[in-house]
Amino acid sequence: MSKLDNQTDVVLKSADATLDAATERWFALLRIPSVSAQPAHAADCARAAEWARGQLSEIGFRAAVRATAGHPCVVAHHPGPGENGPHLLYYGHYDVQPPEPLELWASPPFEPTIVDGPRGKRVVARGAVDDKGQVSTWLAAFRAWHAVTGSLPVRVSVLLEGEEEVGSPSLEPFLIANRRELAADVAVISDTGMWDIDTPAITTRLRGLVYVQVTLKGPERDLHSGMYGGSALNPINALTRILGDLHDPQGRIQVPGFYDQVRAVSPEQARQWAALGFDEAAFLGGIGLSHPAGEAGVSPLERLWARPTADINGIWGGYTGAGAKTVIATEAHAKLSFRLVPDQDPQAVLDGFKRFVAERLPADARVAYEVFGLAPAIDVPTDSSWVRGARAALAEEFGREPLLMGCGGSIPVVDSLRRVLGMDSLLVGFGLDDDQPHSPGEKFELRSFQRGIRSHIRMLAKLADL
């Protein structure tokens, strides 16, 4: 047993003993409504950044809030033991999704509430897991090491951003402007999930994202549908006609060129995923569904991890109040996201979508776009020493081997870190399928929170030893 192994046990005990204080710090962060999408919450975003800076300063980091064109970043550095060991960059985000619709929350979204669940106590709040809860696991791990040893076992830098939920528009310029300062050997990110509450996971495959808002304009003002129906273009009719054509009857996306770069999953990968015994019926049953949507003839995990998708995330136009109004609206809007797989070029997908719309655009309709996200999919190498170190730490904590998983979501920073800083990411997160990030009632299991802290304590030691 090495000296670090000995210390790790002491640090784990210290973390367990101070779990309540760690929970309280996490709650303090959850109480700040740092909704990056809503301009009214800009000051709350700044407050969350300042809060994180303060936390890091308390435990030996040189930490600063740094301005960007949008919400600020927090950057912090800890020298660790001061030797020539590895240098880790912990990335996370302090911003959260909008809490709406508010009426579907059983408790206020920015007042963390502990409730009983089938796996013990859980914490309900916007950001409970995504990403404030997960960030809090590694902040607590740093604090535990600092409390026991006065330092960290490895050199650590921290980058927290405040625009992850709106497509990280300022992140890449910030990475470019601070390329030298942020250089490290590997990035550690906790913004993903486990296989289940007892089976940890390392995510090695992430889907990319194109997020675009489309506006279709027709007549120059709202019209009486009785007077004009049958003669005037109705932009809502036209928008449903165009977007209703997004998928063919087999669930394949009809954007031109969409699948040109999509590789089939290797037979070996397909076998591995099949061996996981993923229960799609249970997965869908948890949300009140029983029939898988998506591409026909494709296995469930392949659909979730290795196939691109197109979802309309919002749509609106015309009269949406109570009762009836016989109006032909002047315009109609929709927000769409495409999840991408490796080798798909986000810009090519966006261009293809614009072509798809243009080919179906009725005479007189005008179209406008706003783009809120463009990120390619990611394949993380699974044979690195970083992955080996993280596997060892997770196996010790959970008493079983972690799975190497795909993830349907997108974490654009992984691509930016690779392109701008030449750095791979180690994606180790503690979320569960039913945590409901982005939904009303978002939660994080207290058990996952504690195991996340303990896992990060172990990982800091394992990664230091490489």
Rounded CA separation 65/160 (Å): 9
Among 242, 392, 421, 423, binds a second copy (CB under 8 A): 242
Angle at 361 between CA 357 and CA 364, to 5 degrees: 145
User: Which DSSP letter does residue 128 get?
Assistant: S
Alpha helices for 150-234 (secondary structure H): 171-177, 179-182, 225-228
Chain positions 381 to 440 lying near a second copy, rule: CB under 8 A, are 407-410, 433, 436-440
Residue 197 touches a second copy, criterion: CB under 8 A: no
CB of 346 to a second copy, least distance (A): 14
Q: How far is the CB of 388 from a second copy (least distance, A)?
A: 27
At residue 176, the 3 state secondary structure works out as helix
For 254-278, letters b (16+ CB in 10 Å) and e give ebeebeeebeebeeebeeebeeeeb
Distance of alpha carbon 34 from alpha carbon 31, whole angstroms: 9
| # chain residues binding a second copy, by CB under 8 A | 103
Q: Which is nearer to a second copy, 63 or 328 (CB)?
A: 328
Contact between 176 and a second copy per CB under 8 A: no
Which of 172/245 has CB closer to a second copy? 245
Closest separation in Å from C-beta 45 to a second copy:
13
113 contributes a contact to a second copy by CB under 8 A? no
Stretch that binds a second copy, among 9-17, 60-68, 107-115, 296-304 (CB under 8 A): 296-304
Binds a second copy (CB under 8 A): choice among 32, 189, 201, 209: 209
Give residues 253-282 in contact with a second copy (rule: CB under 8 A).
280
Residue 247 or 418: which CB sits closer to a second copy?
247
300 is a site residue for a second copy (CB under 8 A) = yes
The residue within the footprint of a second copy, chosen from 79, 81, 117, 292 (CB under 8 A), is: 292
Of 226 and 399, the one with the shorter C-beta distance to a second copy is: 226
Alpha carbons 350 and 150: distance in angstroms, whole number:
50
Contacts with a second copy in 57-96 (CB under 8 A)?
A: none
Residue 319 CB partners (closer than 8 Å, separation 6+): 325, 327, 329
Q: What is the DSSP letter of 213?
A: E
Q: Which is nearer to a second copy, 295 or 397 (CB)?
A: 295
CA 139, 145, 146, 147: dihedral to nearest 10 degrees?
110
Structure tokens at 251: 């669930």
CB of 218 to a second copy, least distance (A): 7
Torsion from C-alpha of 153, 157, 162, 165, nearest 10 degrees: -70
CA dist 441 → 103, 110, 210 (Å): 11, 11, 26
**Does the footprint of a second copy cover residue 315 (CB under 8 A)?**
yes
Query: 87 burial class (0-12, 13-18, 19+ CB within 10 angstroms)?
Result: middle
Span near a second copy by CB under 8 A; candidates 54-62, 134-142, 318-326, 456-464: 318-326
Least distance CB 214 / a second copy (angstroms): 12
Binding residue for a second copy (CB under 8 A) from 265, 304, 393, 414?
304
β 62-66/73-78 pair status: antiparallel
Near a second copy by CB under 8 A, which window of 7-15, 224-232, 263-271, 416-424?
224-232
